[in-house]
């Protein structure tokens, strides 16, 4: 799937969404003006019906009154949107918690939750994005899932209780892959904007409901009837706003579900996984239904239709049968009815099999070399490659990566210097971080991490990131200071240290630090050509030992981007310290221009037909800074 093209389409869809929203608000303004004038005309007459008729209805219409009512409606809608947007500013976590979700902790012992975390970890690493927190909607028995967030860095994946208890591993992979495609297609941010905009439209109805309740609670007087009528009128207008909102939401949402289903098949290379998941929803007594009071507001976020009986024009998802047939054209029309009692035992057996797979180190190490050197066949899905990498990690490191203190200690251990005197100074600084027991744990983990195959460092870092998000704000600041101190211990920053810091910072900063408003994107890559020149120069230099090969790689990259006049920078100009700013500037180009950036990167690293460890780590950091997927355009199998 061309995710950059779909991100660009999502950006254009945002413009259509705004136009539809403006049209809906305009209609509401007109209806509100007409309705309030009619009510005012009726109650402003104190005489008989005959006397009332002497004052024409049209006399009450005036430009001043129209503008005043329009201003009040727009102000109310605007304030409601700002309020909802502020609520959602923290990203997907706000959505998950509003639905009653609880975060599944990385060290959970529950086999269902453990499997869910494993699948999300694999999917995140395979798609080149940070591993998102996973939330469980434990009171929802319907089979459903969602992804929510403003950016990949603050995204979360939510799963219902019915989802984690019903699905086998391959079915859960299909559903999670579907949700990840929404993240990578740019749908996720659009979905949150849709929630905020539609909240503004339906807010008028909520005002009417408050007025109606208020009129009943007051002592009986003449104005009560007027307030009740106005409240009822606003409720009707709010109902019309809800109607407009449902139509907008359905129009924006339905076609994207087909795309996400197709993307999930490409992720997993297993059409059966997602098709069986859809069949299980059709065969379940609960279906994909939610019980939450907010289900209507967030219905477009979910994998399946959260309200069962929904008229076709207002449905946010295509019919189950159509989705299944698109994925599995030869479907026999039968849903899957799965009995529940044996599911827990089956999941435990599957987890035990995964544990045994990790112990097969000889096979894991051999196949890992094939992954990194590009000698695997096209039949190997990205998830298979990621699973091989994770299976090759020592169990003790995997266990510590799922614990907050262990994740902190692992980051520290990976930064410890080979020289003993420098390492001793670093450990002394670690002791001063305020994390109880972290020095001893860091020293213990250094013995393991120092022997780790360099090719496994990046999967390990990506694996430990969710545990770091459980730190408190004070712990985060202490952790960040310690990282910078350890990196500067030898008075220089090497490539791996830069990569580790960027991966950690880009993932954690949106949660713990105030983010600057994004700058307006550049329309053309030419505007940031100097930034691409620096990035390709550094990438070519670190990926090739021979200067001639490095120059060839650079020119192949810039030619792929269509910037034929650029020349490689010398070693002094291509400084790792300047790389962060250059990558951030590249991240400001439009999605269709990002495709050119990564085409250049791909061509650069393909010069020698393999991806080195240094190149792979740099690619991970670059993708994190730019907020873009990675292996979907750098397919390791294609480098064979």
Catalytic machinery residues: 179
Judge whether 185 and 7 are in contact, CB under 8 Å: yes
Decide if 617 contacts 499 (C-beta within 8 A).
Answer: yes
Return d(Cα 337, Cα 471) in angstroms, integer: 42
Instruction: With beta carbons less than 8 A apart as the criterion, state whether 173 and 193 touch.
Output: no
Phi/psi-derived region of residue 627, left when phi > 0, alpha when psi is between -120 and 50, beta in every other case: left
* Continuous segment of H or E residues that includes residue 343: helix 343-359
Name the DSSP letter for residue 160.
E
> Three-state SS string across 105-155, please?
CCCCCCHHHHHHHHHHHHHHHHHCCCCCCEEEECCCCCCCEEEECCCHHHC
| Alpha carbons within 13 A on the beta-carbon side of 596 | 17
Stated as kind and residue range, the H or E segment containing 157 is strand 156-160
514 phi and psi angles, rounded to 5 deg: -70, 125
User: What number of other Cβ atoms are within 10 A of residue 280's Cβ?
Assistant: 23
Angle between helices 579-586 and 613-626 (to 10 degrees): 50
CB 509 within 8 A of CB 515: yes
Identify whether the C-beta of residue 84 lies closer than 8 Å to the C-beta of residue 199.
yes
From residue 509, alpha-carbon distances to 190, 262, 290, 307, 462 in Å are: 22, 32, 33, 36, 15
475 sits in which H/E element: helix 473-487
Choose among 466, 451, 463: nearest CA to 414: 451
- Sheet with 145-148, strands from edge to edge, namely 102-103, 134-137, 156-160, 145-148
Q: Which helix (H) or strand (E) holds 136?
A: strand 134-137
Helix axes 169-185 and 3-43, enclosed angle (nearest 10)? 70
């Amino acid at each position: 799937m061309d995710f950059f093209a779909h991100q660009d389409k999502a950006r254009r869809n945002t413009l259509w969404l705004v136009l539809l929203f403006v049209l809906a608000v305009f209609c509401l303004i007109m209806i509100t003006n007409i309705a309030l004038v009619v009510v005012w005309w009726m109650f402003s007459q104190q005489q008989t019906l005959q006397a009332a008729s002497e004052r024409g209805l049209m006399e009450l219409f005036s430009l001043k009154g129209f503008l005043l009512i329009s201003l009040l409606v727009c102000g109310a809608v605007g304030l409601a949107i700002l309020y909802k947007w502020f609520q959602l500013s923290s990203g997907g976590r706000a959505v998950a918690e509003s639905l009653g979700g609880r975060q599944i902790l990385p060290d959970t012992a529950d086999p269902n939750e453990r499997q869910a975390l494993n699948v999300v970890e694999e999917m995140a690493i395979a798609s080149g994005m940070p591993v998102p927190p996973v939330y469980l909607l434990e009171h929802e028995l319907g089979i459903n899932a969602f992804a929510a967030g403003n950016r990949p860095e603050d995204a979360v994946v939510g799963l219902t209780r019915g989802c984690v208890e019903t699905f086998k591993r391959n079915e859960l992979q299909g559903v999670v892959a579907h949700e990840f495609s929404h993240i990578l297609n740019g749908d996720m941010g659009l979905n949150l904007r849709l929630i905020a905009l539609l909240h503004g439209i339906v807010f008028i109805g909520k005002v009417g409901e408050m007025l109606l309740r208020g009129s009943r609670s007051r002592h009986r007087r003449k104005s009560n009837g007027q307030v009740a009528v106005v409240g009822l009128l606003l409720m009707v207008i709010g109902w019309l706003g809800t109607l407009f909102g449902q139509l907008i939401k359905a129009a924006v949402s339905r076609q994207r579900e087909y795309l996400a289903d197709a993307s999930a098949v490409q992720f997993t290379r297993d059409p059966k996984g997602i098709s069986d998941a859809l069949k299980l929803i059709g065969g379940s007594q609960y279906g994909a239904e939610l019980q939450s009071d907010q289900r209507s507001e967030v219905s477009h976020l979910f994998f399946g239709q959260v309200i069962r009986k929904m008229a076709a024009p207002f449905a946010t998802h295509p019919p189950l049968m159509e989705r299944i047939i698109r994925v599995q054209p030869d479907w026999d029309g039968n849903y899957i009815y799965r009995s529940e009692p044996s599911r827990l035992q089956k999941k435990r057996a599957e987890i035990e099999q995964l544990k045994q797979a990790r112990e097969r180190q000889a096979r894991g190490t051999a196949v890992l070399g094939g992954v990194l050197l590009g000698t695997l066949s096209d039949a190997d899905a990205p998830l298979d490659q990621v699973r091989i990498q994770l299976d090759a990690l020592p169990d003790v490191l995997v266990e510590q990566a799922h614990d907050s203190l262990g994740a902190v200690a692992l980051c520290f251990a990976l930064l410890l210097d080979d020289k003993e005197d420098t390492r001793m100074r670093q450990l002394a600084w670690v002791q001063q971080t305020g994390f109880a027991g972290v020095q001893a744990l860091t020293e213990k983990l250094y013995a393991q991490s120092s022997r780790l195959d360099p090719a496994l460092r990046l999967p390990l870092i990506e694996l430990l990131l969710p545990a770091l998000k459980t730190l408190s704000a004070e712990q985060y600041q202490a952790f960040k200071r310690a990282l910078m101190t350890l990196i500067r211990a030898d008075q220089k920053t090497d490539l791996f240290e830069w990569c580790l810091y960027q991966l950690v910072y880009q993932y954690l900063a949106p949660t713990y630090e105030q983010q600057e408003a994004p700058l307006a994107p550049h329309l053309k890559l030419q505007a940031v050509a100097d930034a691409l020149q620096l990035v390709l120069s550094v990438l070519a230099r670190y990926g090739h030992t021979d200067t001639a090969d490095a120059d060839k790689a650079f020119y192949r990259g810039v030619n792929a981007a269509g910037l034929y006049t650029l020349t490689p920078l010398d070693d002094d100009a291509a400084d790792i310290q300047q790389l962060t700013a250059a990558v951030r500037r590249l991240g400001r180009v439009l999605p269709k221009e990002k495709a050119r950036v990564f085409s250049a990167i791909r061509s650069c690293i393909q010069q020698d037909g393999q991806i080195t460890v240094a190149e792979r780590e740099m690619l991970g950091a670059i993708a994190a800074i730019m907020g873009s997927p990675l292996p979907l355009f750098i397919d390791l199998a294609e480098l064979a």
